[in-house]
Amino acid sequence: MASIFGYIRTSRRLQEGVPGMDPASQELQLRRAGVPLANIHRDVGISGTTGTQGRQGWHHLDVRLAGGDTLVVVAIDRIGRTWQDIVRSICDLRDRGVKIRSLAEAEAQWTCYLEADEGSPEAFFGQILTMFAAWVADQELQSVKRMTKEGLERAREQGKVLGPPRKFRPHQVEAMRRMRDGGASLRRIAADFECSASTVLRTLRQEGATNG
């Protein structure tokens, strides 16, 4: 029997209480859309630049999805923030017969084309719009990075102190530890959490001292 599933992803920089982005808000929207609580999978504190293959929540969701099921997200960019990852993930789900539904009004108008018969004009239209939506998500990410970098450079030029080392939440530290145990380099972890490799090393050492 076909089932309906939901997926939630938030990055570290998105704060709770921001409409549409924090985990509680996304869960509420998915529940209102008819997704059972038991079928909602989450990746909280995970950047969209981390591919779906590197997310535990997505992995648990992926193994449950089967042909005829429907995956619901509040927006396509919850699947990812790089156009390659979004397109690859959507195409994989479509090839497996999994339907994709976005609750974002602008996206809901075209995701239905992903269910069109292979080779039809509607299917081709859906593929084109998928790539465009993925490209937009990617460009938004690059814009955020560029503005952040420019802001930091202006602060340095003005002699401002950029503040103490970042403090990560327990689930973020746990994610770092799992990545490190899985063989990820400090540089790779730092890129995913948008910090320096030394910050990652210090955070993991502090966790070890606390747990010890």
Shared domain for 106 and 35, answered yes or no, is yes
Print the domain residue range for 66.
Answer: 4-134
Distance CA 135, CA 83 (A): 5
Q: Region 44-70: what's the mean pLDDT?
A: 89
In a domain, 160, yes or no: no
In a domain, 30, yes or no: yes
- Count how many residues are written for the chain: 212
Kindly list the distances between the CA atom of residue 5 and the CA atoms of 26, 53, 115, 209, in Å, as whole numbers in the listed order.
13, 18, 16, 39
Mean pLDDT lowest among 8-17, 89-98, 111-120, 172-181: 111-120
Shared domain for 191 and 89, answered yes or no, is no
Instruction: State how many domains the chain has.
Output: 2
Shared domain for 27 and 125, answered yes or no, is yes
Mean pLDDT lowest among 57-61, 92-96, 106-110, 186-190: 106-110
Q: Region 95-115: what's the mean pLDDT?
A: 75
In the chain, pLDDT over 70 holds for what percent of residues?
Answer: 65
Strands (E), 98-189: 99-102
Could you tell me if 90 and 129 are in contact, meaning their C-beta atoms sit under 8 angstroms apart? no
Beta bridge mates, 79: none
Shared domain for 126 and 55, answered yes or no, is yes
Confidence bin at 114 (pLDDT 50/70/90)? low
Distance CA 158, CA 163 (A): 14
In a domain, 142, yes or no: no
In a domain, 79, yes or no: yes
Distance CA 159, CA 176 (A): 32
Confidence bin at 19 (pLDDT 50/70/90)? very low
Single-letter amino acid, residue 137: A
